[in-house]
Amino acid sequence: MIKLPQDVLALAYLAAAALFILGLKGLTHPASARRGNLLTMGGMALAIVATLLHPAVRSYGWILAGIALGAIIGTSIALRIRMAAMPQLVALLHSFVGLAAVLVAIGTFLGHAHNSRVLLAELFAGCFIGAVTFTGSLVAFGKLQALLPARPLAFRHRHLLNLLLVGTIVALGVQFVLAPTLATLVALTLLASVLGVLLIVPIGGADMPVVVSMLNSYSGWAAAATGFTLGNPLLIITGAIVGFSGAILSYIMSRAMNRSIVSIVLGGFGGAKPGDAVVATAASQGYKQAAVEDAVFLMGNATRVIIVPGYGMAVAQAQHALKELTETLEHKGVQVKFAIHPVAGRMPGHMNVLLAEADVSYDQVFEMDEINPEFASTDVVLVVGANDVTNPAAKTLSSSPIYGMPILDVGKARNVLFVKRSMKPGYAGVENLLFTQDNCRLVFGDAKDVCEQMATELKAAA
């Protein structure tokens, strides 16, 4: 049985870590994302092989069985999962990392001597962070999968309760380090599991993209804690990379939403209910409906069209139909651009991935700050299921749970065509005031079917 010397093993881990960092760099832009994925896959393959050749590995039976089972489950999920369900899959995978950290910590406690307080502190950290990540990610998965109510489930004095839980967990952690027992470790793990639920349950749908990226950060710290427990430097490095990158991404997204990341994490936002005035206004003023033919006429005679994709596009898998529509419009001499809000969809980069899947040119895709000044001079904006990120209530209605969040200024365009399946509000649960504006018309139907009909009608009119 071949075993790697410690210096060769360290070199392999260093190379794997370098590939992870280079891969993460590649993921910062859609054009280099594929290369970034390949680099990280190579780094993971190298890390697995090096770990299998670690001198501490005595047999491969259970290890290979676990790898085979994981490969079967992972491949099955990858082949079946729709892009629309990717956010909840990410949340579920985060929960696995947290659970793994807890199991490693408890397993290490049961299999090792307890004469090192440093190790005991590492076990405490692994159980604490891992349990919060596990249950918090499961709640996020439940909300995204509609197994739990998407609305905030807030209650009085929740912050005080959370503070008491944290204090109790820390006190049990100190007791565990000084006088280690399995009962203490299990007790603090259970309390941390309850804390994970209580932290995520009060957070509403409007803040869920930030929550997913924050849980990504938690999973990284859980992995780093596991690395310390196992004495694995690569796991420490990769866990720290994931932890810091997830935290930075959460901060960037919270700024894009004009929210305090501390308040989001503590469940302080997303808890307001839409005011009765909003619903009454929408009901009394009504909305204007447009047929596909009307939308085709407006876009076919336009000079500039901006398409705003949202979660509705993801659900309908309409990105390929939008690509066809874009090519048809460009063939008629219409300039077409795509506008992406930082938190469109249910996870960071959701829309970018879908558009890249449909081979939409990166040069046509613009972020909110780049595209917002252009709406006022645009003939037609086609919104495909992007409710909350286009809602003027974020600027005008202080009682709205999305108040203060920067939005795409689609309402400034000459004409707004909004593709919707129904009048159901967006994930934040608030009515979109855009629907009552004079320049907005709603096109009802499945996003994919509607966009395909638009492309067909445009070709016929050419």
Residues marked as catalytic: 388
Burial readout 342-358 (b: 16 or more C-beta within 10 A, e: otherwise): bbbbbbbbbbbbbbbeb
Instruction: Give me the sheet containing 415-420, strands edge to edge.
Output: 288-289, 440-444, 415-420, 380-384, 304-309, 335-340, 365-367
C-beta of residue 310 within 8 angstroms of C-beta of residue 440: no
Contact 19, 40 (CB under 8 A): yes
Q: Is 289 helix (H, G, I), strand (E, B) or coil?
A: strand
Taking the C-alpha atoms of residue 212 and residue 207, their distance in angstroms, rounded to an integer, is 9
Decide if 432 contacts 393 (C-beta within 8 A): yes
Indicate the SS3 state at residue 440: strand
Which DSSP symbol is given to 436? Answer: G
Q: How far apart are CA 381 and CA 411, in angstroms?
A: 9
**DSSP summary character for residue 150:** S
Cα–chain-centroid distance for residue 410? Answer: 24
Neighbour-count burial for 25-45, b at 16+ CB within 10 Å, e otherwise? ebbeeeeebeebeebbebbee
The helix-helix angle for 6-26 and 30-52 (nearest 10°) equals 160
> CA distances (Å), 248 to each of 20, 58, 351, in order?
17, 40, 20
Amino acid occupying residue 328: T
Buried b (16+ CB within 10 A) or exposed e, 374-403: bbeebbbbbbbbbbbbbbbbbbebeebbbb
How many CB atoms lie under 10 A from the CB of residue 84? 18
